[in-house]
A = this chain, B = another copy of it.
């Protein structure tokens, strides 16, 4: 029987088609960050978003070897003990799933059905990728670097280990880390134990988990996850352009108290400080604006003191809440001039949909 009977092509939901049980399976396995958890500068590991393409692999940590091969002078096979003995760095990074916002696209691409919560900020401990590449000695004919993880499965008919490529230039400049700790503890299983790549500023698909192999190749990598999956396309026929760096986004910590089902927020009349987080993978955030009337009018938020540009930045704005119904929203701008839109352009994969989120709020006496 052909693989295509159980591993089908991608599709877009029909008009008015509700979320399917297939999509729900993915939502139940791969969770987002509850938005109130943005109160923590660093997201507790169990609350950081998770995206596992296939299954969390069982990992034999004592025997784990990272292979560094290809267009290098000195291929390496490094165990965890050796890696941990190298000069380590701890870097705070905000990661976001490329598919964040997908389920709010209309029509809805059928895949991992994120709303806005596929984000997290963690402190990763590891050795810079550049140190390993320099240790191996990259040859002049190197073009791309291919990172392969231990998770194995099928996707749209293609059997594969999860693999992603970065250009050699990007690999040397992006500040990537080969990491073994998250928030000071060994990586949890779902976050890549015992070893992963962390690529700051890029959507999370670049940060290959359960990292087994780094291979420098002499041509452009055309593996599935670069050539087929993570591309911005206007239609199925459009070859598209690669998904790369994280588009600017601001998220508000929902104020007041929630209704269990609707997640509408109920607030008492009075002064309230609205807080949130904003980030961009292209350049530091330099402006956040907040609206309480669904984007009809905006007020500038106060940005927290500058910190590390690789992690989100907090913002706050005071609101004198009087009785009524409101729709809170927020948008970010970065130093490159990119502005988060109220409504991002549609694309067939449902990627990079950084449309501003909207929070219904009722203010009562």
Contact = CB atoms under 8 A, between A and B. Distances in A.
21 contacts: A5-B362, A6-B266, A7-B262, A7-B264, A7-B266, A23-B24, A24-B27, A24-B103, A24-B113, A28-B31, A28-B115, A34-B55, A34-B190, A37-B189, A46-B47, A53-B260, A54-B258, A153-B259, A153-B266, A154-B259, A156-B261
A29 B263 CA distance: 11
Interface string A300-332: 000000000000000000000000010000000
Nearest to A261: B22
Contacts of A103: 21, 24
Nearest to A324: B1
Interface of A: 1, 3, 5-8, 17-32, 34-37, 39-40, 44-47, 50, 52-56, 58, 103-104, 110-111, 113-115, 117, 152-156, 159, 188-191, 254, 257-264, 266, 325, 360, 362, 364
Number of copies: 2
Given A17-B18, A257-B154, A258-B54, A263 B34 contact: no
Contacts of A117: 28-29
Contact of A21 (B53, B115, B155, B260): B115
A260 B155 contact: yes
Contacts of A263: 22, 25-26
Given A58-B39, A115-B25, A264-B7, A44 B259 contact: no
Contacts of A35: 29
Contact of A56 (B8, B36, B360): B36
Nearest to A56: B36
Nearest to A103: B24
Nearest to A258: B153
B27 A28 contact: yes
A8 B147 CA distance: 49
The interface centre, meaning the residue of A23, A152, A258 with most chain B CB atoms within 10 A of its CB, is A258
Contacts of A54: 257-258, 260
Given A34-B52, A46-B45, A262 B6 contact: yes
A258 B19 contact: no
